[in-house]
A and B are shown apart, each in its own frame.
Chain A
Amino acid sequence: MSSSLISPSELDYIIRGVDDNLRADGRGRLDYREVILETGLIFQANGSARCRLSKGTDVLVGVKVEIGSIEIDGTDEEVAAVKAKRGRVVCNVECSPIASQQFAGRGADDINNELTQLVDRVLNGPQGGLNLEKLCIIPGEECWVVYIDALVLDYGGNILDLIFMTIRAALYNTRVPKTVIEEDKEVEISDDVEEWERIEGWELVPISITLNKIGTRHIVDATVLEELATKAKLSVMVNKNGKICGIQKIGGGSIEHGLLNEMMQTGRSIGQNLILNLDKMLQKEDEINAERAKNDKIGFFAAA
């Protein structure tokens, strides 16, 4: 209900806990909560995934690929030449009002915009990992458009990190149909599911590690109450190779220069480890899905 309020004594308890490296749920400063991951839950989508943090955030992502026209905007010829040879990624993040009271009514508008823009900017740039040129079908005319829709179903802190994790898992799960261009420039889509392919470069899609500055120190994977005690947040986008693909500072507080560097380094190493673990989970998920397909048990409740 009153998820945006915290009492002074709770605040003090959290700050001192962070100082002692022992948070309210027994985690240290740099411990992540357990992530539960499922893929292939939505029939109609080309790829989907759902990630949950134990006792917290729940994010569902669906990926749909559709054929669209290449949009060439702007007058810069160089930019236009690059864009003509590329597919597009369109992102949308929505925080459902069932997740938290604070998303009810128009309350989610700001955070939806903020998250959508951030995800869009990361995935459409050169650092996004996806090989957008492979998504081009007829240069200057037609391409695949990848629609990524993220839905936040439950809120227990650390939304952004989970959104990126889920998007990465959903892109892993995505298969793009093969296309054949016929003589009259008609695009033929292959029906053979076996021939469908993953989007090239999904493994280089970055994930985000959000560091929350509480007191003079920083923690990862904050809970709702910890987020309320946070002065400033720094989200570091890291890919599999440990390259930083973007950073974003959220919140009004300040971060000292030395701390900023430290936070970026921590984000990088944690991110790389997390990606390794997630990739293992994705591989396991593939086996589970193959097993499920045999039993005809695919869908939202199959994993339960």
Chain B
Amino acid sequence: MNNEMQVLFWILVFPGFVFTAVLGLLAAWIVRKVSALVQYRVGPPFLQPFWDVRKLLSKEVLIPQEANKWVFIGAPLVGLAGVLLLSTLLGVAAFWPQKTFVGDVIVAIYLMVLPSLALILGSSASASPHAAVGTAREMKLVMGYELPLVLAFIVVIIKSGGALGLAAIAETTPVASISGAVAFLVSLLCIHAKIGYVPFDMAEAETELGSGVLMEYSGGLLALWNLTSAMMLVALPMFLVVVYLGGFGTTPAGITIGLLKYVGVLVLIILIKNTNPRVRIDQAMRFFWIGCGLVLVTAIALATIGNIYDIGWL
């Protein structure tokens, strides 16, 4: 297999599209099923997320008259491409550590924001008043959580001694220290907001905006958004596992433990989702900037001190 073929295989099959989509829909089922159990419900059958996507694909795509057609259609493709590349990048870093390049973690952080930006683009192109409010909220939310996400990442870089490659970072376990644990928790919340679950689902907010940003999407385009968010359920927790929890390893035992870590992160996300009401957008921004920001500044200080005096647990 030559190099191009291998890259293509990575992107399209494993750890890219096929793998991430199947695992993502599976994760979506877990989220729905566990939420249902928490709420005394039965929950959907195992294949429901797959059926949902299949059914949406068979439905008519309606494009609002006033919408900017090409942006409206292009946005879900951009979003899907973003999360696809992100999961490929993370998967390669996890399973073929020698094939990574320096600075890939910066690429990962940029790719992570792509689906949200695509959502903002697509919904603002749809010319719906509900979507307009949703767009404004999504924009503010992105601005809210990007800052603490990057600040938290600084802690990781300090802990790993200035490494800028995913593979190198995966060899350290920042969460085993105070500053790292704090950074992990904050990142978890940022990831939660990125996925758009309660309490940070104000951009969709069914009972306020009637699914806001996604309001005008239907049929195949909506299926793409569903797929994108399902794949985010793989890529974003995987990012946390690689960056904070010591990665997956390459031995079968290491991969099993890595998968358990992934499931653990997923469970945390489900718990947060089911034990909180939706917060207002201004409250969310204040929480991310002031609350998380101050905590992270402290964490960075602790990590720096730990680094200078060689205290691992700080």
Co-complex (A, B):
no
Which chain A residues have a beta carbon within 8 Å of chain B's beta carbons?
none
Which chain B residues have a beta carbon within 8 Å of chain A's beta carbons?
none
